[in-house]
């Protein structure tokens, strides 16, 4: 059952969710066991073969969404340290959108977006965000945040029986903790204990589907499936002002996600062991910390890359969702 949004209509998210209400989990438990065993084997063998460069209990190899994405883009980028990256309007848009969706889910329409985000920054003692917001004029802040608050209305009307949760953890720990693939899911609905099928939504503050978004979505499907021993029936991307982009889950898509993760573990082990990273320029050079010293840097790039949706960096250890590692 869906409830109407504040304008009386059914929201696009509620419509998508209810469209999956009768779906059954598409992947067998045996298949999930096989995937976990394959990943365990790869992680254990790779860690055991690393000799002096192996992971430790304090410093496991972390191969999450961001690192996998970076390894696909540019190995040298994957080896850079982004700790201390500054806030940017793109990152703050992402933070605001997450907060506004949570507000819409549990409180109601976001009527004063600047005040709402500032209150959140104060309540969480996020002084960097506070300072960032203060550096904007009121009109400028309204211009940035009002469309996001309006877009969050797409999350109205969800039936409470789906138990919506935000920023949930879905992590896979392999080889006795030597390898970790940590994920933070923007929104989860249904799943074990709810009596509803499991659904996963990634919120994107950028616009338009990129080629690597499907890989991100299916990694989360894999992490949630192995966490719950039950595969989601679908993962989706949602963009402010857009439709829900549905990625149906099947055994083949989870196998592909597991194979990509296994490849990432092996590649990361090679780089940690000292293999020189390959340089692969692209749109991502725009925010690469090595851009001022990399001979392969490409500054005049087309828009085929990740734009300023730098929340792709959001699953580093202790990361606060803004490309910084705490």
What residues line the site for ligand SF4 (CB under 6 A)? 74, 76-77, 279-281, 284-285, 288, 290-291, 294, 296-297
Nearer to ligand SF4, 69 or 222 (CB): 69
Nearer to ligand SF4, 173 or 283 (CB): 283
Closest distance of CB 84 from ligand SF4, Å: 17
Closest distance of CB 217 from ligand SF4, Å: 23
Write out the two tokens for 52: 């002096």
d(CA 308, CA 206): 7
d(CA 152, CA 148): 6
Nearer to ligand SF4, 76 or 213 (CB): 76
d(CA 60, CA 174): 10
Nearer to ligand SF4, 147 or 289 (CB): 289
Nearer to ligand SF4, 242 or 289 (CB): 289
Closest distance of CB 92 from ligand SF4, Å: 23
Count CA atoms within 13 Å of residue 16 on its CB side. 24
Closest distance of CB 69 from ligand SF4, Å: 12
Closest distance of CB 285 from ligand SF4, Å: 3
Closest distance of CB 76 from ligand SF4, Å: 4
Nearer to ligand SF4, 31 or 290 (CB): 290
Closest distance of CB 68 from ligand SF4, Å: 15
Nearer to ligand SF4, 54 or 281 (CB): 281
């Amino acid at each position: 059952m869906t409830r109407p949004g504040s304008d009386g209509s059914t929201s696009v998210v509620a419509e998508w969710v209810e469209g999956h209400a009768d779906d059954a989990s598409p992947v067998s438990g045996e298949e999930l066991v096989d995937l976990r065993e394959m990943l365990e084997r790869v992680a254990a063998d790779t860690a055991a073969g690393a000799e002096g460069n192996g992971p430790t209990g304090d410093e496991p190899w972390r191969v999450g969404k961001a690192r996998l994405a970076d390894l696909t883009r540019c190995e040298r980028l994957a080896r850079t340290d982004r700790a201390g990256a500054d806030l940017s309007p793109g990152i703050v848009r992402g933070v605001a959108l997450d907060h506004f969706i949570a507000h819409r889910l549990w409180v109601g329409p976001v009527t004063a977006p600047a005040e709402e985000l500032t209150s959140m920054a104060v309540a969480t003692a996020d002084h960097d965000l506070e300072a960032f917001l203060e550096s904007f004029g009121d009109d400028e802040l309204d211009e940035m945040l009002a469309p996001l608050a309006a877009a969050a209305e797409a999350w109205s009307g969800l039936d409470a029986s789906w138990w919506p949760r935000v920023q949930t953890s879905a992590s896979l720990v392999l080889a006795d903790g030597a390898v970790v693939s940590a994920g933070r899911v923007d929104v989860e609905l249904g799943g074990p204990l709810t009596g509803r099928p499991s659904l996963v939504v990634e919120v994107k503050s950028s616009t338009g589907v990129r080629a690597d978004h499907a890989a991100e979505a299916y990694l989360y499907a894999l992490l949630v499936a192995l966490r719950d021993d039950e595969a989601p029936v679908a993962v989706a991307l949602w963009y402010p002002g857009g439709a829900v982009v549905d990625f149906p889950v099947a055994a083949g898509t989870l196998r592909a996600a597991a194979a990509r993760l296994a490849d990432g573990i092996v590649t990361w082990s090679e780089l940690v062991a000292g293999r020189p990273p390959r340089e692969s320029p692209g749109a991502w050079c725009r925010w690469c910390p090595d851009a001022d010293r990399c001979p392969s840097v490409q500054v005049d790039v087309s828009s085929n890359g990740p734009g300023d949706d730098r929340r792709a960096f959001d699953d580093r250890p202790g990361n606060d969702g803004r490309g910084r590692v705490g």
